[in-house]
Amino acid sequence: MRLFFLVLLLQGCSLYAQFSDNFSDGDFVKNPEWLGLSDWFIVDEAPSSLRLNAPAEAGTAFLFTASQSMEAAIWQFSFRMGFNPSSANYARVYLAADGTDLAQLHAAFYVVLGSSDDHVSLWQVKNGQHERLIKGEAGRLNSSHPEGRVRVTRHREGR
């Protein structure tokens, strides 16, 4: 089982801040600074994109960067998977979290790409409990090489 986690950390501040990283500089360790298992990721040149390059054995790979954006935020990313996702081999992209230890989170938002229904779904962690907010169309990612774009908007009112 190979899980991929990309975490954008929430620092609990109501400042307006934004960042964008398309990895066109070929470097993901600065501007913004990405931390985590950086040895397990590489930047592909054309098109500029971040790619998991982890060992084949089961494990969890992750990167994260700090962000102040939360009250009114838009998160968007593209994905391209080189496998048909399953309940044992899928991606989880954390949009915001209150810490870096994924097993101990009290508050977070994340997107699941794949799983047993081959769908895209949005989840929230509240007081350590995981709740699915949106379940996408079943079978949407039932492909040997699924790809797509995800955009999540959070309004100031919390919707």
Output DSSP code: residue 30: S
Please provide the average confidence, as pLDDT, over all residues in the chain: 81
Q: Where is mean pLDDT largest: 3-17, 36-50, 107-121?
A: 107-121
Determine the Cα–Cα distance for residues 129 and 16; give it in Å rounded to an integer: 28
| pLDDT tens string 35-89 | 888 888 888 887 778 888 888 777 788 888 877 766 778 888 888 888 899 988 8
Give the residue extent of every domain in the chain: 2-154
| pLDDT confidence of residue 7 | 47
**pTM for this structure?**
0.81
Query: At 102, phi and psi to the nearest 5?
Result: -65, -25
Look at residue 102 and tell me whether its pLDDT is greater than 90. Answer: no
| pLDDT confidence of residue 13 | 36
Say whether 103 sits in a helix, a strand or coil.
helix
Q: Which residue has the higher pLDDT, 27 or 159?
A: 27
Strand 147-154, strand 2-10: pairing? unpaired
